A and B are shown apart, each in its own frame.
Chain A
């Protein structure tokens, strides 16, 4: 596999580029790395206020954890999503952001995209640690699921990476991609049960059925890989149960397909990449 060979050859570079992203991001800010925590905390606060307090979204009870805190329920879905959407949009722009480098030095190009995604993994890791502490304080016990959680993070990373690779070349040839993706990501966010529980969708589907509307709402929902990822993360963190193996399998397949398609299309379209930058 030349792919793995390329990856092995450029691992030193990968580490250094990732460090550059991590260190460079919050340089010259007074709060530094703490910003990577303030941002999700701020969005958690806003969503909790709007959906938990104003719109009064029903808060599911964790089974068997017994947890019923909207902010934590939200965080278990929002943090993976934030990582995913950050990785896709960051990875997408990574070739253009490093145009100068690409024009002057030869190296294995996917490294740039991978490094951007990995640097966000570092942030995601910090966030998960803080979430873990909060969950423990609130009375959840996610520790036994830690190894499986790592697997889920890896799968989510691969899923995001494949999409980022695909979009990173697309945006070079066609700059509008960036803006389409921004809209698409918003749609995708609300199409995934993150700020609201899936039970609301099930109710809606039942109501549609009763009214004679045959639209397969639940099936469509379940085709969304991010829904499956959210379920996997929530069941381990919020509910403290083993995630549905079908969800896990779906995630694994989605990750594999995403990476395979991403890398293939990346390789196929990188021929004129440097000239088009």
Chain B
């Protein structure tokens, strides 16, 4: 990147004091000889970054990785213990919307108040007032005290004031999820205008999907240190991959007996996913063939049982389910031990963690012999070399064709974005 940096962060460190017992009272101070006991917590350690002018820059990392602290340091709300931060141009921070609002004052008064807190002059505000109110879409209520506003209106007015500050560098912390979808679109359009005008935006967010598309550069922070800086899509992908490796516990650990019920004449003794070699596995590539094996043990003969399976991803999205009755597979009876297999030719999920639930019911699906909720956890990973799908649950593995490229069979437009 040859463009001049808008923000230069040079070897910045910041620590917080985690007080065990805080000396905010006289008694405590006297008892402890005037010294508070605290541990130092390093939120940032020797962070150096350059945020190029005109870029939309993402700071990503887990909770507690220091990204919000860094943002606050750039905004000058916190001052670093070591190192320097230089910003070129005016800075405005969207850390919390409507944080300066006074509940008893009207929307109009609060626009002027909040605007001046964010650094607008009276003249700027007079000029932009209509635009601000219009953007927030609350013309009718502008002379009402803001305490009567719905939370959505409150946030919208706050966002509208903040975005109209028109700084050279805008710092945004997790505020993209404001208002209804129509308002969100307006916000995105405003961000796009911002980028077109060559302004710099620094965003902290956990919404990786939108970060990938919205940002062009990213820095990945982990425990206060910079892991990597580079193109946003690369960094986000690496971060997501790393997250999946680490954050999903070994599936064997997840055997939650509490989530099991049924009358017990037939029990599911084991539910497993087998890979293409017939071996139990918990990690698959998107598109791999998979066999689900359910082993049962019946204390008595069960007539016309129905076997069911369901998959949910770790965000709780219900991804798929099927049972033998819907599949028109009629099992006349089961007795003693045995197993039932479901062969899935292609595990068409996007990379994520999934939980499998399994059940045996009677033919009406009203009586449950055994139901094991989330009895098996598995992880779907991206296959290296295959194009990434941008969002959602299922991987359709579609192929793009445009007028300009005569894509030969099997070739995909991986560089289309």
Q: Which residues of A contact B (CB under 8 A)?
A: 12-13, 15-17, 19-20, 23-24, 27-28, 100-107, 174-176, 271-272, 274-275
Contact = CB atoms under 8 A, between A and B. Distances in A.
Contacts of A272: 17
| In the A-B complex, the 6 residue pairs with the closest CB atoms | A27-B104, A104-B99, A106-B76, A13-B116, A16-B116, A175-B24
B100 A101 contact: yes
Nearest to A111: B117
Contact residues on B (Cβ < 8 Å of other chain), bracket: 20 to 34
Contact of B105 (A20, A103, A107, A275): A20
Given A24-B105, A175-B24, A106 B17 contact: no
Given A24-B105, A103-B77, 5 more contacts: A12-B120, A100-B99, A104-B77, A175-B24, A176-B24
Interface in B202-235: none
Given A101-B99, A104-B96, A176-B26, A20 B77 contact: no
B117 A275 contact: no
B102 A271 contact: no
B324 to A, nearest CB: 56
B181 interface: no
21 contacts: A13-B116, A13-B119, A17-B116, A17-B117, A20-B109, A20-B113, A23-B104, A23-B105, A24-B104, A24-B105, A28-B104, A101-B100, A103-B77, A105-B93, A105-B95, A106-B75, A106-B93, A174-B23, A174-B29, A175-B25, A275-B17
A107 B115 CA distance: 12
A102 B120 CA distance: 17
A176 B25 contact: yes
Contacts of B122: 12, 15
A217 B16 CA distance: 49
A12 B121 contact: yes
A102 B72 CA distance: 11
B117 A101 contact: yes
A166 to B, nearest CB: 18
Given A101-B117, A106-B93, A275-B16, A16 B24 contact: no
**A interface SS class:** helix
B78 A275 contact: yes
A104 B102 contact: no
B112 interface: yes
A176 B34 CA distance: 13
A12 B120 CA distance: 8
Nearest to A23: B105
A118 to B, nearest CB: 14
Interface in B74-111: 75-79, 91, 93, 95-96, 99-100, 102, 104-105, 109
Contacts of A12: 116, 120-122
A101 B97 CA distance: 10
**B interface SS class:** loop
A107 B17 CA distance: 24
A275 to B, nearest CB: 6
A102 B78 CA distance: 10
Contacts of B298: none
Contacts, number: 78
Contacts of A16: 112-113, 116-117
A51 B125 CA distance: 52
A19 B102 CA distance: 11
A103 B145 CA distance: 24
Contacts of A101: 99-100, 117
B255 to A, nearest CB: 43
A13 B24 contact: no
Nearest to A17: B113
Contacts of B72: 274
Given A16-B112, A174-B23, A105 B105 contact: no
Contacts of A174: 23-24, 29
Nearest to B76: A106
Nearest to A105: B117
B118 interface: yes
B138 to A, nearest CB: 20
Contacts of B117: 13, 16-17, 101, 105, 107
A86 to B, nearest CB: 19
Contacts of B105: 20, 23-24, 27
Contacts of B145: 27
A20 B17 CA distance: 33
Contacts of A13: 116-117, 119
Nearest to A271: B79
Nearest to B124: A12
B141 to A, nearest CB: 17
A99 to B, nearest CB: 10
Contacts of B95: 103-105
A33 to B, nearest CB: 14
Contacts of A28: 104
A144 B105 CA distance: 39
A103 B119 CA distance: 16
B344 to A, nearest CB: 49
Interface string B52-84: 000000000000000000001001111100000
Q: Which of A24, A104, A275 has the most CB of B within 10 A?
A: A104
A238 B177 CA distance: 62
B370 to A, nearest CB: 52
A30 B200 CA distance: 49
A27 B119 CA distance: 26
A4 B96 CA distance: 29
Contacts of A106: 75-77, 91, 93
A275 B44 CA distance: 14
A15 B100 CA distance: 14
A274 B116 contact: no
A20 B24 contact: no
Contacts of B91: 106
Given A27-B104, A176-B26, A105 B113 contact: no
B93 A24 contact: no
B40 to A, nearest CB: 12
